[in-house]
């Protein structure tokens, strides 16, 4: 009997490890590991954890139709998982283990330890690339990993042949189902916490994720490049949570687009495919440069920046009480919806790391603990880009002015008014930066920092690092 281990790949189709595990057709068990300590240490949000459990509930039926059993394994911490998996294998006579790769350091180390323990006990261990293209197969002309996105993206596109984009078939049906399904635990029982939150806007199955993508392609993708930065519009695919838990793969997403529209430079669909490649790039960086998984800056010299220890300002940033309307609206969107528009992620991250000069790692952690679509690689990459400490990052002297960004991407203040009700009566020409009199009358605070002087302070802090 074979074992497949789910991670962030909650789908049946285009799941290489699950397919390979099914080929014997002599019995297959799919395992999901609940590890409260690991998830707490990694900062996964309650919303994401609950979304995964809901996704597991939905995948039980298609697994059942293939005679694949779904079992739940509880583990105390990630370093215990290899031993716990071994005990499960011994109990059920498992002879082969299949799983898809994960790239953060702890997961890579766990898989190395699992492979070692499997070899010691004569259990076959097979791990499969979960990227669009294996990270080891994408190198620059010197045979080294890329550190800049644009040449990486060009390389990826040059490698996106029909063969590379070919999707893995659905797993084969097993002759018999060897074990009964475990009941998917209630969220409170699994993680000792409760979450009252509506998941209506987020797909729970691969078919609903696929349909959401098709609807986006049909209705909006051609305008994506022009409208994607306007937060009051629904101009993006809203599939980030589906990518995060693996309801859909990068390969599937690109294929859906290319079935309808060509990847022509300057088009909305080409811009959207580029965003998929950004997701691949940040996983690629995590794979090749493991220090980014250890709380380190991608550019080592910036580990020496003297960040400000300003807990009061950090809390106001978290709560959306900075006195900067677009920042406050974005943070309240995150806190209420467990999701934030991508343009706003950049604006809020740069405000924290530059204007407040608060360590980007605090913001990175806060995002992970609240985002339903939290993905370590993308979140870390995005934060380091905004903080100018990362791969291919924004130059340290290029600092978004949140007022200018607000005027450009939310000109009428519609988004701000949706999340900052104190400013509902504010005129559109004042809403981006209300006067002191208006702030006082609307009970809205003054800015917690001067944008001009804080910008110069940030530039000086970065300049001082030699």
Same domain, 50 and 137: no
Q: Is the dihedral of CA 225, 229, 230, 236 positive or negative?
A: positive
293 domain-assigned: no
258 domain-assigned: yes
Radius of gyration of the chain (CA): 23
Same domain, 19 and 122: yes
187 domain-assigned: no
Q: What is the mean pLDDT of each run of 10 residues along the chain (466 residues)?
A: 97 98 96 91 93 97 97 96 98 97 95 98 96 95 96 96 95 93 95 93 97 97 98 97 98 97 96 98 97 96 96 98 98 98 98 98 98 97 97 91 98 97 93 97 97 97 92
Q: How many domains does the chain have?
A: 3
Same domain, 317 and 459: yes
Same domain, 38 and 104: yes
pTM: 0.96
Last-in-domain residue among 130, 154, 183: 130
Same domain, 377 and 307: yes
> Which CATH number goes with the domain that contains 72?
3.40.50.620
186 domain-assigned: no
CA distance 400 to 418: 22
Same domain, 324 and 439: yes
199 domain-assigned: no
- Tell me the two tokens of residue 229: 């930065």
Q: Residue 308, SS3?
A: coil
Which helix (H) or strand (E) covers residue 127, if one does? strand 124-128
DSSP secondary structure letter of residue 410: S
178 domain-assigned: no
Q: Residue 264, SS3?
A: coil
pLDDT above 70: percentage of residues in the chain: 100
89 domain-assigned: yes
Same domain, 259 and 305: no
Active-site positions read 275, 278, 307, 342, 360, 383
CA distance 61 to 200: 20
Closest CA to 36 of 75, 66, 71: 75
- Tell me the two tokens of residue 198: 């509506």
> Which CATH number goes with the domain that contains 158?
1.25.40.80
> Per residue in 244-302, pLDDT tens?
999 999 999 999 999 999 999 999 999 999 999 999 999 999 999 999 999 999 999 99
- Render the burial of 331-348: b for 16+ CB within 10 Å, e for the rest: bbbbeebbbbbbbbbbbb
The pLDDT value given to residue 328: 98
Same domain, 219 and 261: yes
> Per residue in 125-183, pLDDT tens?
999 998 999 999 999 999 999 999 999 999 999 999 999 999 999 999 999 988 999 99
Same domain, 343 and 216: no
Residue 125: which domain range?
Answer: 2-130
Same domain, 96 and 152: no
Same domain, 215 and 323: no
The pLDDT value given to residue 320: 98
> Which CATH number goes with the domain that contains 305?
1.10.579.10
Same domain, 306 and 410: yes
């Amino acid at each position: 009997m074979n074992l497949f281990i789910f991670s962030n790949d909650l789908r049946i189709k285009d799941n290489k490890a699950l397919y390979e595990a099914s080929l014997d057709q002599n019995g297959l068990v799919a395992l999901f590991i609940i590890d409260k300590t690991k998830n707490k240490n990694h900062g996964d949000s309650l919303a994401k954890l609950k979304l995964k459990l809901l996704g597991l509930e939905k995948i039980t039926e298609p697994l059942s139709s293939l005679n694949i059993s779904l079992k739940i394994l509880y583990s105390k911490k990630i370093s215990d998982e290899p031993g716990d998996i071994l005990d499960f294998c011994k109990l059920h006579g498992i002879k082969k283990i299949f799983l898809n790769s994960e790239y953060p350091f702890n997961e890579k180390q766990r898989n190395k330890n699992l492979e070692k323990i499997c070899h010691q006990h004569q259990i076959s261990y097979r791990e499969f690339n979960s990227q669009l293209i294996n990270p080891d197969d994408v190198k620059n002309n010197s045979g080294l990993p890329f550190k800049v996105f644009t040449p990486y993206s060009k390389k990826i596109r040059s490698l996106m042949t029909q063969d590379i984009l070919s999707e893995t078939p659905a797993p084969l049906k097993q002759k018999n189902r060897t074990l009964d399904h475990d009941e998917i635990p209630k969220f409170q029982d699994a993680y000792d916490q409760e979450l009252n939150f509506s998941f209506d806007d987020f797909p729970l199955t691969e078919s609903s994720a696929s349909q959401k993508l098709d609807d986006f392609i049909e209705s909006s993708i051609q305008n994506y490049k022009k409208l994607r930065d306007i937060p009051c519009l629904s101009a993006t695919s809203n599939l980030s949570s589906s990518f995060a838990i693996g309801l859909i793969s990068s390969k599937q997403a690109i294929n859906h687009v290319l079935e309808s529209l060509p990847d022509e430079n300057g088009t909305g669909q080409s811009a959207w495919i580029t965003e998929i490649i950004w997701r691949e790039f940040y996983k690629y960086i995590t794979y090749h440069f493991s220090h980014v998984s250890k709380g380190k800056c991608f550019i080592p010299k910036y580990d020496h920046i003297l960040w400000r220890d300003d807990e009061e300002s950090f809390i106001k940033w978290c709560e959306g009480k900075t006195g900067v309307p677009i920042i406050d609206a974005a943070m309240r969107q995150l806190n209420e919806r467990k999701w934030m528009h991508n343009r706003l992620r950049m604006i809020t991250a740069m405000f924290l790391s530059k204007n407040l000069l608060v360590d980007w790692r605090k913001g990175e952690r806060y995002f992970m603990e609240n985002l339903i679509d939290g993905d370590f690689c993308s979140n870390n990459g995005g934060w380091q880009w905004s903080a100018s400490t990362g791969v291919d990052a924004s130059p340290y002297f290029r600092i978004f002015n949140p007022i200018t960004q607000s005027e450009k991407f939310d000109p009428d203040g519609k988004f701000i008014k949706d999340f900052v009700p104190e400013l509902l009566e504010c005129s559109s020409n004042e809403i981006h930066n209300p006067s002191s009199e208006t702030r006082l009358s609307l009970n809205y605070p003054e800015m917690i920092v001067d944008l001009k002087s804080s910008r110069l302070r940030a530039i000086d802090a970065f300049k001082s690092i030699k």
